[in-house]
Every structure is written in C-alpha cells, then in structure tokens.
Amino acid sequence: MDTAYFASGCFWGTEYYLSKAPGVHTTTVGFMGGHVTAPTYQQVCTQTTGHLETVEVVFDPQLTSYEALIKLFFETHDFCQTDGQGPDIGPQYRSCIFYRNQEQKAMAERYILLLQEKEFSVATDLQPASTFWKAEDYHQQYYAHKGTLPYCHAYRKIF
C-alpha cells in the first residue's frame, strides 16, 4: 500500500471522490500543515491553526497510481480558486498536495505545469507532508452516511 494526502476544500467532497477511485483502499479526513497539535474541527474553523482540511488516501499501487489520483484531485475541485473552495472560504479550504517523497513532488509539479500550459492559473500549493491529524468520527465518510452528493465538488474532465 501507498499513501497520498490531498487538500481541496471541504474534506467531505474530496473524500467522496477519492474514496470511489479504483485501487483506493481507505480514505480518512483530517488536518495537516498547521502548528497546532491534535487540532479539533472547531479549532481549525477559527482559521488560526494553519491546518488545511486534508484527506489521507491509502491505495494499492498495483491497482492505481499516484498519477491517477493527482488527475482525479485536479478534476474534482477548482484548483484556480485561492483561499477557499466554492462557498467555503478560508485558509483551511486551500488547494494543496502534501507530498511524501521526491517522486510524489515531481509528479505534482508535472501536473501543475501541464495545467499552466493549458492556461489555467493554478492556486494549488505543494508542501511536504507533516503529521496527519484524524478528524472527529462524525466527519468520516460523511456523504456515504448522509446519502447526498457534495455541494462544492464536482467532476470535470481535464486530462
């Protein structure tokens, strides 16, 4: 198994799409990138922790690739929007790929460059992965439990 970390707005919508990708074993929503240890959702919502709503994706590299997940990441959110995603505004909703190694970083840089060549203004940040803090249980698999579709994420073919 391998692991990837993506932030693209509300973690519920991000998880919804990534959890359905072939080869994905598990998804977990949480927080990454900030300076507060073991933050709560309420703390992150104050916009003072530095954390982004993030999805941890555990996948089988025999069944899917990190590249396929990056494509899906970019095709399911507005990577041009700064400081939020759709109606969700704030630094915790920024678009970011947290890379675990130089191969993941290089792949992310490749796709950002491809998007820029297509004349997109890419707001997605790249950061080294740090400690991932799991969000409270009621946030996990939110749309699967609620039985509805994401309100600020939608799929659009780009690649």
CA torsion angle for 22, 119, 95, 149 (degrees, to 10)? Answer: -50
Residues 57, 70: Cα–Cα separation, whole Å = 11
Q: Which amino acid is at 151?
A: Y
Burial readout 130-146 (b: 16 or more C-beta within 10 A, e: otherwise): eebbebeeebbbbbeee
Catalytic residues: 10
Torsions phi, psi of 7, nearest 5?
-120, 125
